[in-house]
Amino acid sequence: MLLLWTGLLSDILDGVLARRLGVASGPLRLADSVVDGVFALCIGAALYVQFTAQLTAMWPLVLAYLGTDVLGWLLDLRKFGRLAAYHAYSTKLTGLLLAAAATRLALSGEGDLLRVALIVGILNHLERALMTALLPRWTPDVPTLWHAWHRRG
């Protein structure tokens, strides 16, 4: 769990530091998004290995989470030729909830918070897909669907 929270904290701080130093470019934001996705997949795989029974009981939610994420990637690639790098507030909330849920699962074996995190994650993926549908060109750092609506034209 220490590695999970260290990774999450470094993910938060690297963006803040990059913006303060003025080095937050589009390619770096895209790389950050890709690394975030790989980190999440590694945590998910580790949790599955350790808590197979609990995660198997939530297969419909896990599959919906993964499916909506892949759908978003495919939409990004089709429209922009690369993955989006929105860094939406809902993505940050999903990450925090998943970290808290993983911690709860590891410490107590309880998966209730993971169900909530997966549902919030599915909604996040749907928001990102709608953002991709609305935006006319690849645009990094779009915090909400409302912002995408206002940047669409």
Lowest average pLDDT, out of 28-42, 77-91, 102-116, goes to 28-42
Long-range Cβ contacts of 43-47 (<8 Å, 24+ apart): 43/4, 43/98, 43/99, 43/102, 47/102, 47/105, 47/106
Q: What is the pLDDT of residue 8?
A: 64
pLDDT digit string (tens) for 42-54? 777 878 888 888 8
**Residues 109, 111, 74, 33: is their CA dihedral positive or negative?**
negative
pLDDT-based confidence at residue 152 (cuts at 50, 70, 90) = confident
Contact criterion met (CB below 8 Å) for 1 and 51: no
| CA 13 from centroid of its chain's CA atoms | 16
CA distance 31 to 121: 20
Residue 58 has pLDDT above 80, yes or no: yes
